[in-house]
């Protein structure tokens, strides 16, 4: 039996999930894995958060130094979040010879390179399965299960808050703001959901997955990020008629020119695509790999127990001497500028219903080497301006932007065309 002593730092939702799961299932883990996990410290700067812990065997303190200086402690479980103090804590923990388990995606995506390097130097592991998609074992899958495979693309719905909001907009015909309020009322969105709805949370996750899949460093500043805050119900309804559902996708893809695309943005996904059926707060990651082919991983990406299962899985692996989560950068793929990507596009203009307008628009598309795949004008007899909706064949994004700029400059233009990228199956 391996005995491992841990300190949990940060007793918020996930910290309590880990505490409860380990308290309830300690015997089961012993029987299954021959690992006995003992929580020696519960640490939080707000001591009120420790009052409910009744076990006399757990030291309750706000002083994290007690744990990192305690020779008996094998693993520091960092669950405080944020990128400042958490960075210091993990750095000091590794320097003091401790392994670390964390759910902190922002920290790893933005400042992870230094920490992984330090871990390597010290021969210590940073377990971070919980940082991406909560309970879905996607890091372990890419790292271990597909160790002999080559990932070509990752397409993920990796943010539950935005998926919940988009599902409500689509199914209940409500605006973004109404859906956001509903999500907050039901506890699926934070009081301050900024980082979720503006795509940053998803970008942190895809930056981490991309680094593992392509063994290449990814500068977080190079990740293209667009959120869902400007999505209009009208486009969700138009897309539905065209056979598409709007999702916030996180994409990392290896291109034939050896560059990687790493991007987060709203995307119209064909109803035939498996990701189209992922509803509400659920997450899913679709992998394209050379030998296994296509595979899909689905489950809850947030919440106390789903995330705690990933934390506990990492603790057990470290206790058993596995260090699967050491990030290896053996390649250096440049991140492609968003203007250089190729995609299909949905575009909606609001235009006056009069002679010559369509010909001017299609002329600009032709000049920019963009081929129109479908075109619908919605007739509205009483209104001066009518929606003109078109989809394109694959085109270069910078050409699309150029075309939209040029069309916006025409006298008849009321506002810039809405552009959303399309993905088929």
Options 44, 78, 129, 196; binder of ligand HSE; rule CB under 6 A? 196
Q: How many CB atoms lie within 10 A of CB 186?
A: 12
Which residues are paired to 253 by β-bridges?
Answer: 153, 261
Q: Segment contacting ligand HSE (CB under 6 A): 54-62, 156-164, 179-187, 343-351? A: 156-164
The encoded tokens of residue 106 equal: 């922002």
Q: Cα 65–71–76 angle (5° rounding)?
A: 55
Q: Which of 391, 394, 281, 396 is nearest to 339 (CA)?
A: 396
Task: Find the helix or strand (DSSP H, E) in which 422 lies.
Answer: strand 418-423
Nearest to ligand HSE of 302, 361 (CB atom): 302
Residue 181 annotated among the catalytic residues of the structure: no
Position 161 contacts ligand HSE (CB under 6 A): yes
> CB of 266: closest distance to ligand HSE in angstroms?
15
Smallest gap from Cβ 189 to ligand HSE, in A, equals: 7
At residue 283, φ and ψ (nearest 5 deg) are: -110, 155
Task: Kindly state the helix (H) or strand (E) to which residue 206 belongs, with its residue range.
Answer: helix 200-214
Residue 10, interface with ligand HSE (CB under 6 A)?
A: no
Phi, psi of 141, rounded to the nearest 5 degrees: -65, -50
Q: Segment near ligand HSE (CB under 6 A), from 9-17, 157-165, 242-250, 385-393? A: 157-165
Using the minimum distance from each CB to ligand HSE, give the nearer residue, 12 or 352. Answer: 12
Considering the complex, state which of residue 302 and residue 350 has its C-beta at the smaller distance from ligand HSE: 302
Tell which one of 127, 160, 227, 417 touches ligand HSE (CB under 6 A).
160
Least CB distance to ligand HSE at residue 265 (A): 16
Catalytic residue among 40, 124, 168, 205: 205
Q: Which stretch binds ligand HSE (CB under 6 A): 107-115, 158-166, 314-322, 396-404?
A: 158-166
The number of residues making up the chain comes to 425
Structure tokens at 224: 């293209």
Neighbour count for residue 315 (Cβ, 10 Å):
23
Binding site for ligand HSE (CB under 6 A): 159-161, 196, 201, 301-302
By annotation, the residues acting in catalysis are 205
């Amino acid at each position: 039996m391996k005995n491992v002593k841990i300190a949990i730092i940060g007793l918020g939702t996930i910290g309590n999930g880990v505490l409860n799961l380990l308290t309830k299932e300690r015997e089961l883990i012993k029987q299954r894995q021959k690992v006995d996990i003992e929580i020696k410290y519960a640490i939080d700067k707000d001591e009120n958060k420790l009052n409910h812990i009744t076990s006399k065997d757990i030291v309750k303190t706000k002083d994290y130094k007690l744990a990192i200086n305690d020779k008996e402690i094998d693993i520091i479980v960092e669950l405080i979040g944020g990128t400042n103090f958490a960075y210091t804590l993990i750095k000091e923990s590794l320097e003091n010879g401790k392994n670390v388990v964390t759910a902190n995606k922002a920290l790893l995506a933005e400042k992870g390179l230094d920490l992984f390097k330090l871990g390597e130097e010290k021969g210590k592991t940073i377990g971070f399965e919980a940082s991406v998609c909560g309970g879905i074992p996607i890091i372990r899958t890419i790292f271990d299960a597909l160790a002999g495979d080559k990932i070509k693309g990752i397409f993920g719905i990796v943010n539950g808050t935005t998926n919940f909001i988009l599902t409500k907009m689509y199914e209940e015909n409500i605006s973004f703001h109404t859906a956001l309020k509903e999500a907050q009322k039901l506890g699926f969105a934070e009081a301050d959901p900024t980082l979720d709805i503006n795509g940053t949370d998803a970008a942190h996750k895809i930056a981490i997955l991309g680094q593992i899949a392509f063994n290449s460093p990814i500068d977080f500043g190079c990740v293209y990020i667009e959120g869902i805050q400007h999505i209009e119900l009208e486009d969700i309804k138009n897309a539905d008629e065209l056979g598409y559902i709007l999702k916030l996708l996180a994409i990392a893809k290896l291109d034939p020119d050896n560059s990687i695309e790493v991007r987060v943005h709203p995307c119209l996904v064909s109803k035939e695509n498996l990701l189209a059926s992922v509803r509400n707060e659920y997450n899913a990651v679709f992998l394209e790999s050379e030998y296994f082919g296509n595979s899909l991983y689905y489950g809850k990406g947030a919440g106390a127990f789903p995330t705690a299962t990933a934390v506990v899985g990492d603790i057990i692996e470290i206790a058993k001497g596995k260090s699967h989560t050491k990030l290896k950068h053996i390649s250096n793929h440049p991140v492609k500028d968003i203007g250089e990507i190729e995609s299909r596009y949905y575009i909606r203009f609001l235009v006056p219903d009069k002679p010559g307008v369509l010909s001017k628009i299609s002329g600009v598309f032709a000049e920019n080497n963009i081929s129109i795949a479908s075109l619908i004008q919605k007739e509205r007899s009483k209104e001066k301006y009518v929606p003109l909706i078109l989809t394109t064949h694959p085109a270069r994004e910078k050409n699309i932007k150029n075309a939209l700029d040029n069309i916006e400059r025409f006298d008849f233009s009321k506002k810039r065309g809405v552009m959303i990228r399309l993905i088929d199956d």
